Amino acid sequence: MASRGLPVTHRIRVLLERARGLDLASVTERAKFTAKAHGKSYPLVLADMLWSAARHRVGFNDYMEFDFAILTRAERATWVTSPLALELSNRYDDPAHVHRFHDKIDFNRDFDRFLGREWLALTPDGAGELEAFAQRHPVFIAKVPVSKSGLGVRRYAAADVADWAAFHADLVAKGEVLIEERIIQHPDLEAIAPGTANTTRVTTFVKDDGTVEIINMAQKFGRGQVSDQASFGGFYTALHEDGRAMGMGYSVDGHLFETHPDTGVRIADFQLPMMAEVRALITEVALVIPQVRYVGWDVVVTPTGPVLVEGNWGAGVFENKPSATGIRHGHLPRYRAAMGF
């Protein structure tokens, strides 16, 4: 399982692509938000943000989200940034196998025994099959098989459907052809963020000796919507290795959440239930496709144990935010120790 080398040309290509897609208005908005949040000079923050992106592979949103404006150079060097995470995915994930994570239907087939829920791939003439599924699961989830950030995911109730043939045709037309049983989450999660199946992001790496290392964890919290993603108003907090929250919650746009807005529960008091079972599940699923070594898994802890939602071969970044946790270092040392780079 030796890793593939990452050519310097990849870094150059990524940098050029980011430069071509630069949205200056968005960058200046982030710089102004950061300067105001930390009492810094806006021009200095903007200059530092641009320099950090060009010289140190720090995404503009990384800079804002992870409080780089208040960190020393040495402290910044301990963070996993978005460009670095992309480099690691390209280095360690075999391109011949990553397609197995792209399509949610294909993923469900490969990982069916870990899902803990019934699912159905709609066929053009499957209206009757859909109706029977909904009779077994009166509230169900429909997904577009190839999507990200929670887009293309909807929640439906069988009681709202009057014409199953028409409803089936509408789902097929919208591409919402993956139907899943709704996940019922653990009472500890429901007490904090009800109405959403709140996922735990567990990032793993399959080491050269074939063992699995958990290198990062974060808990996402929704706002009663079908997804806990940021596009649905969700936020998250980084977790210690034992499943305890590192501190307050925070969103990708830099806002802090001392308590959950809908329940008033203090985020820093969160403890992921069934941590031992989560670790056991993740260790097993990470070896189903060991050629894809660096993966961000989403699981939900239910009353009877954790279930797998999906795997992301582009693991993304769920890092520590110092103003939320008081901790002034990131997870990069853990990544380096596991990956050996």
Q: What is the C-alpha to C-alpha distance for residues 159 and 122, in angstroms, rounded to an integer?
A: 19
2 — pLDDT class (breaks 50, 70, 90): very low
Nearest to 199 by CA among 317, 294, 103, 307: 307
For the four alpha carbons of 45, 48, 54 and 59, in that order, the dihedral sign comes to negative
Q: What is the C-alpha to C-alpha distance for residues 67 and 7, in angstroms, rounded to an integer?
A: 30
Q: What is the pLDDT of residue 4?
A: 41
Question: Residue written as tokens 């045709």?
Answer: 169
Torsion of CA 137, 280, 317, 257, to 10 degrees: 70
Tokens of 335: 């990544």
- Phi, psi (rounded to 5 degrees) for 123: -110, 160
Tokens of 257: 């959440």
166 — pLDDT class (breaks 50, 70, 90): very high
Q: What is the pLDDT of residue 199?
A: 98
Tell me how crowded residue 210 is: count the other CB atoms within 10 A of its CB: 9
pLDDT, average across residues 248-259: 96
18 — pLDDT class (breaks 50, 70, 90): low
Residue 19 pLDDT greater than 60, yes or no: no
Q: What is the C-alpha to C-alpha distance for residues 73 and 329, in angstroms, rounded to an integer?
A: 11
